[in-house]
């Protein structure tokens, strides 16, 4: 467990300073179900688990993806897993729930305070429905849906597990730090205190966690990753985006965000271009127009724009094709509690260059599936040079990465362990 940074002279100081609804999909899984005696769903019924998410809007990246992936994995293992979340009118068309018609998702329009994803509809639904579940897994901490989930669980006497999504990382706490400082005593500490445990996706997340109040237990378990995604044509992808067939593609997949240290990656790439004339940088994902333009200007500044491709958001076969078109996957983020895209790259047999601040860095190292660096231009340049100078090993590294993924990170490998955590919490009452 990380130390309490608030007690060590690093306080979070103030910075310089249409209602809509969607009818839930009532799909119910069939076949063998996970059962546990004495639960609210009956002695012979399946375990019923509700995931309370802040939002499933696709721009939120892995934080929105995680509840959906977890619920699909759980339902495949016989658990009646459902999701409840808020949904703003502006992002209704980009909810990831549309890509998961098999998951019962209950989305409710946002209301005051919209800035913190308040939702009167979600509050009322949770108050009436939480008691029908055996366990609730609450995702994230700095928004209203987790607080509503805690209140509903306490009133219905339903235990909950708190999935923090790296929100207690010191770097993440610096975002909106004044508001988080105010938020912590009346809302955050009770949210953690009343949980039956915290859930982390990597040892890195545990080691960097700021300790506000000690939870009963911390469960460390990788996310179940839905890979391989199937299909994909790397040659057609390169033609579509005008990437030469003989280019050595260094790529990164995911939302374009400052957390990903893409500025560091672009500058580092620009610095090695002279010595590696066939190198090409591929960035797959969506960011704000302002941030994307800033990255493109940075590529211009480092004479790399002609060898850098921005594709925007891709999914399905297009996303698979992107991974297959990448020769070396690069994720040099400032911090990542897990990083689904690294797991996806491993699943697709790509050698990886990752920073030591990525939760899966230890897995890449254990797999012998790539290279580890620190998040700085000097270190990323060294990492790129080392990787590019050893291209003859990439096929072997990719095979190791994929084999490790199949043994440790698939739905089949991780979901039974999660169900056991659920069973333990439910049985403890």
Q: Between 308 and 35, where is the model more confident?
A: 308
362 pLDDT band, cuts 50/70/90, is: very high
Q: Which residues contact 94 (CB under 8 A, 6 or more apart)?
A: 57, 58, 59
Please report the pLDDT score of residue 27 as a whole number: 30
CA distance 296 to 270: 12
* The pLDDT of residue 314 is above 70: yes
CA nearest neighbour of 369 among 380, 356, 354: 354
Name beta bridge partners: 412: none
Cβ proximity of 41 and 80 under 8 Å: yes
Contact 410, 178 (CB under 8 A): no
Please indicate whether residue 57 or residue 39 has the higher confidence score (pLDDT): 57
For residue 66, name the pLDDT band (cuts at 50, 70, 90): confident
* Alpha-helical segments (H) within 302-360: 316-325, 340-347
Distance from C-alpha of 145 to C-alpha of 122, rounded to nearest angstrom: 8
Burial of 274 (0-12, 13-18, 19+ CB in 10 A): exposed
- Report d(CA 233, CA 241) in Å as an integer: 13
Q: What's the pLDDT tens digit per position in 247-288?
A: 999 999 999 999 999 999 999 999 999 999 999 999 999 999
Cis bond before residue 228 (omega within 30° of 0) = yes
Quick one: pLDDT band at residue 364, thresholds 50, 70, 90? very high
**Could you tell me the pLDDT band of residue 95, with boundaries at 50, 70 and 90?**
confident
- Mean pLDDT computed over 231-247: 95
Class of domain 5-223+411-428: alpha beta
pLDDT at 39: 46
Residue count of the chain: 429
pLDDT of residue 230: 65
Taking the C-alpha atoms of residue 335 and residue 333, their distance in angstroms, rounded to an integer, is 5
pLDDT at 11 > cutoff 50: no
Q: Tell me: pLDDT of 20 over 60.
A: no
pLDDT at 154 over 50: yes
Q: What is the mean pLDDT of the chain?
A: 86
The pLDDT of residue 164 is 87
pLDDT of residue 381: 98
* Residue 3 pLDDT grade (very low, low, confident, very high; cuts 50, 70, 90): very low
Tell me if 345 sits within 8 A of 326, measured CB to CB.
yes
Predicted confidence (pLDDT) per residue in 386-411, tens digit: 999 999 999 999 999 999 999 999 88
pLDDT interval class at 337 (50, 70, 90): confident
Looking at residue 93, its pLDDT comes to 72
Domain boundaries, the chain: 5-223+411-428, 234-408
pLDDT in tens, 22-53: 333 333 332 333 444 334 553 446 899 999 99
Rounded CA-CA distance 136/153 in Å is 8
Residues 348, 350, 351: CA angle, nearest 5 degrees: 150
Distances (CA, A) of 370 to 87, 253, 329, 395: 39, 17, 9, 11
The SS3 of residue 251 is strand
The angle formed by the CA atoms of residues 366, 368 and 374, to the nearest 5 degrees, is 80
DSSP 8-state code for residue 38: T
CATH class of the region 234-408:
alpha beta
pLDDT at 228: 55
Chain segment 164-213, per-residue pLDDT in tens: 887 787 887 777 777 777 777 788 889 999 999 999 988 888 888 887 77
Which pLDDT belongs to residue 382? 98
Per the DSSP assignment, residues forming a β-bridge with 135 are 49
Query: Which of the residue ranges 116-125, 150-159, 289-298, 346-355 would you say has the lowest mean pLDDT?
Result: 116-125
């Amino acid at each position: 467990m990380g130390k309490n940074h608030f007690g060590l002279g690093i306080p979070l100081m103030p910075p310089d300073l249409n209602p809509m609804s969607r009818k839930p999909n009532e799909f119910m899984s069939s076949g063998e179900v996970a059962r546990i005696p004495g639960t609210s769903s009956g002695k012979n019924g399946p375990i019923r688990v509700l995931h309370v998410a802040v939002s499933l809007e696709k721009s939120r990246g892995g934080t929105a993806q995680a509840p959906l992936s977890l619920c699909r994995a759980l339902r495949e293992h016989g658990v009646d897993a459902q999701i409840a979340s808020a949904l703003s009118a502006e992002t209704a068309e980009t909810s990831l729930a549309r890509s998961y018609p098999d998951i019962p998702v209950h989305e409710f329009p946002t209301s005051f305070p919209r800035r913190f994803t308040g939702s009167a509809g979600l509050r009322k639904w949770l108050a009436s429905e939480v008691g029908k579940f055996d366990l609730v897994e609450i995702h994230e901490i700095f928004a209203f849906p987790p607080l509503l989930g805690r209140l509903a669980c306490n009133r219905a006497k339903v235990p909950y597990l708190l999935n923090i999504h790296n929100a207690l990382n010191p770097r993440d706490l610096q975002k909106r730090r004044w508001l988080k400082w105010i938020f912590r005593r009346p809302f955050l500490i009770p949210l953690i205190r009343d949980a039956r445990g915290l859930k982390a996706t990597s040892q890195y997340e545990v080691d960097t966690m700021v300790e506000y109040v000690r939870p009963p237990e911390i469960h460390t378990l990788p996310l179940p990753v839905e890979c391989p995604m199937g299909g994909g044509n790397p040659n057609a992808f390169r033609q579509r985006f005008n990437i030469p067939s003989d280019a050595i593609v260094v790529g990164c997949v995911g939302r374009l965000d400052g957390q990903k240290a893409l500025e560091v990656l672009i500058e580092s790439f620009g610095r090695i271009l002279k010595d590696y004339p066939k190198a090409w940088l591929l960035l797959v994902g969506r960011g704000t127009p302002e941030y994307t333009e800033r990255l493109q200007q940075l590529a211009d500044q480092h004479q790399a724009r002609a060898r850098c491709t921005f594709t925007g958001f891709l999914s399905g076969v297009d996303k698979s094709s992107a991974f297959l078109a990448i020769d070396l996957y690069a994720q040099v983020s400032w911090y990542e509690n897990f990083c689904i895209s690294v797991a996806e790259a491993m699943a697709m047999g790509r050698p990886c260059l990752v920073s030591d601040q990525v939760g899966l860095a230890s897995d890449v190292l254990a797999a012998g599936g790539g290279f580890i660096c620190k998040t700085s231009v000097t270190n990323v340049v060294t990492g790129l040079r080392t990787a590019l100078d050893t291209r003859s090993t990439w096929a072997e590294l990719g095979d190791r990465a994929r084999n490790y993924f199949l043994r440790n990170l698939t739905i089949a490998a991780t979901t039974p362990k999660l169900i056991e955590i659920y069973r333990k919490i439910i049985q403890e009452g």
